[in-house]
Structure 1
Amino acid sequence: MRCLDLICAAVLLATAGSLNAAPQVQVVGLFPGAAVLNVDGQRKLVKVGQTGPGGVQVISADSRGAVLRVDGVERSYSLSREYGEGFAVPSKQQLSIAKGIGGHYWVAGSIDGHPVQFLVDTGATSIALNEGQARMLGLDFRVQGQPLQVSTASGTAKAWRVKLDRVKVGTLELLGVEAMVLEGDSPNEALLGMSFLNRVGWREEQGVLLLESKH
């Protein structure tokens, strides 16, 4: 009976261990002073010094990685796309964008290989550039573009509809993306509009804009 008692005790200890298993923690977004955590499938933007899902605390965070306190133990985490042990890494490309200056979403990208700083604008029907920006990108919009009139906050403006060969934001890259080149200096920033966003999945959660390739 003593041997049976030992076996029962071992089973009870194993069961207790499984009940107190550490949460599955991944860092799926990194920003200066904040990290997007995925704890047992629950995703949230957590700033340094704050506590997120599962009691996970962010100690430090920058673009290279984050230090988290999990169950009282601190360790370093790099950017991960895994969703827990035993699950496959998703094939879809994902990008998390935190709110920046003025509560807007800013993201670095490129057009036809040229670096561009985009302002995400879900109210814009397409990517929008002013003519100065278009010239810097080498776009021959007056010859190759389709002229038209567009409505802006300041009234109507002359514009040209063009097709961009490649638009990349983070790891998300699309080919043949429609854009508008507006005459003059407006818009001041390159707008990442719906001609790009409609071709990727996007949603806003806890002050973070999440973009994900559809395939």
Structure 2
Amino acid sequence: MSRPDLRIAACLLALAPLFVAATQVQVVGLFPGAAVINVDGQRKLVKVGQTGPGGVQVISADSKGAVLRVDGVERSYGLSREYNPATSTDSPGSPAAPQKAQLSIARGNNGHYQVAGSIEGHPVQFLVDTGATSVAMNESQARRLGIDYRVKGLPMKASTASGTVNAWRVKFDRIKVGSLEVLGVEGAVIEGEAPVEVLLGMSFLNRVRWREEQGVLMLESKF
């Protein structure tokens, strides 16, 4: 190899790290004023103005998208699904695997996870409660949703912070949170005005995959 060829090869080797060191960034959760970002496999909830893994800064964020500063350059990001080529079984020409529904819920300032959803197609504001056996609500909430719990429900007793109260065991045809929908969910209607919010309990959570990580509750359909 001539000296010019050696110099060219040396230049190419010096430039090679510039092409492999590009930061891989995904936005996997969006909230007003914050985004869940995945940077080279590190995931974190980052608020606007703060810096996350890899020095990635969140400039702005809402439910539609986020503006991130990556390696000194600002650009807009939409919500994307995480993809791991090392575990993917897809091959060119093969049919795409069905995508699982996912949802990320940021913990509120009160320390609780709250999320909008629906029961039987009616809008509901849920409070995620891993200590609740089932999806639970008070009588007023049940009447607003048109649930005929006294006729179709099974009388039972429920333990609450105020003691043991009358309740009715019911089954909801469908409950939806984000893009996750679960059919045939066990529920309870509690006599009186408690709970104040509809509890998204374990009868729903056991039907999906879920985990908590750095102030974010991540839900994913099992199928």
Give the distance between the partners of 1:16 and 1:208, measured in 2 at CA.
34
Segments of structure 2 that go 5 or more residues without pairing to the other structure are 91-96
* Structure-1 residue corresponding to 2:50: 50
* Structure-2 residue corresponding to 1:25: 25
> Do residues 154 (structure 1) and 162 (structure 2) align?
yes
Q: Secondary structure at the match of 1:12?
A: helix
* Structure-1 residue corresponding to 2:208: 200
> Do residues 113 (structure 1) and 121 (structure 2) align?
yes
Give the distance between the partners of 1:133 and 1:75, measured in 2 at CA.
43
* Structure-2 residue corresponding to 1:39: 39
Give the distance between the partners of 2:78 and 2:171, measured in 1 at CA.
37
Give the distance between the partners of 2:221 and 2:192, measured in 1 at CA.
33
Give the distance between the partners of 2:85 and 2:208, measured in 1 at CA.
27
Equivalent AA in structure 1 for residue 215 of structure 2: G
Q: More deviation in 8-17 or 85-94?
A: 85-94
TM-score for the superposition, normalised by structure 2? 0.90
Q: 1:99 aligns with which of 107, 131, 151?
A: 107
Equivalent AA in structure 2 for residue 34 of structure 1: A
* Structure-2 residue corresponding to 1:4: 5
> Do residues 66 (structure 1) and 66 (structure 2) align?
yes
Give the distance between the partners of 1:90 and 1:43, measured in 2 at CA.
23
Give the distance between the partners of 1:84 and 1:58, measured in 2 at CA.
23
TM-score for the superposition, normalised by structure 1? 0.93
Does the 8 Å contact 1:38/1:83 carry over to 2?
no
Residue 10 of structure 1: CA displacement?
4.9
Residue 191 of structure 1: CA displacement?
0.5
Q: Secondary structure at the match of 1:125?
A: coil
Q: Secondary structure at the match of 1:102?
A: coil
Number of equivalenced pairs: 214
Q: More deviation in 93-102 or 2-11?
A: 2-11
Give the distance between the partners of 1:169 and 1:49, measured in 2 at CA.
29
Residue 15 of structure 1: CA displacement?
2.2
Report Cα offsets for 1:153-186 as digits up to 9, x if no partner.
Answer: 1000100000100000000000000000011111
Residue 16 of structure 1: CA displacement?
2.4
Equivalent AA in structure 2 for residue 160 of structure 1: W
* Structure-1 residue corresponding to 2:93: none
Give the distance between the partners of 1:139 and 1:184, measured in 2 at CA.
15
Residue 14 of structure 1: CA displacement?
4.5
Residue 210 of structure 1: CA displacement?
0.8
Residue 48 of structure 1: CA displacement?
1.1
Q: CA 1:61 to 1:22, structure 2 compared with 1: closer, same or farther past 3 Å?
A: same
Does the 8 Å contact 1:30/1:36 carry over to 2?
yes
Aligned-CA RMSD value: 1.9
Report Cα offsets for 1:84-130 as digits up to 9, x if no partner.
Answer: 68967872211110112511111000000000000111110000011
Give the distance between the partners of 2:70 and 2:84, measured in 1 at CA.
15
Identity of aligned residues (%): 72
